[in-house]
Amino acid sequence: MDFNTIPKQFCENVVAGHSEENFVMVMSVGNTANAYALTPPHMKRLVQSLTHQIEEYEKKFGPIQATWSPGIESPLQSKDITKGGE
């Protein structure tokens, strides 16, 4: 797959939550959003892949200045993710 030929959108916000069975990531673009459910092992591999990509980027272009504030409550809470459509 040639990633250069895939249409791209600028993702303005990403939020994630989890239940015992899965993780859910919601990615928003303007007034629309897509939600993706991942198994725990898939989510772990995604984090590993993203970590690798960031490390490679910073080797080439220098450190990325960003602060994560985990105290900010996500609009997507694990209690809102139901099991099997409950």
Interval 41-86: pLDDT, tens: 999 999 999 999 999 999 999 999 988 777 666 555 556 656 655 5
pLDDT at 81: 59
* Per-residue pLDDT, 61: 97
pLDDT at 55: 98
Q: What pLDDT is recorded for position 69?
A: 76
The DSSP annotation for 4-22 comes to: GGS------EEEEEE-SS-
Q: What is the pLDDT of residue 68?
A: 78
Report the alpha-carbon distance of residue 27 to residue 49 in Å, rounded: 18
Domain residue limits, the chain: 10-64
- Of 12, 13, 18, 14, nearest to 77 (Cα)? 18
As a whole number of angstroms, the distance between CA 43 and CA 41 comes to 5
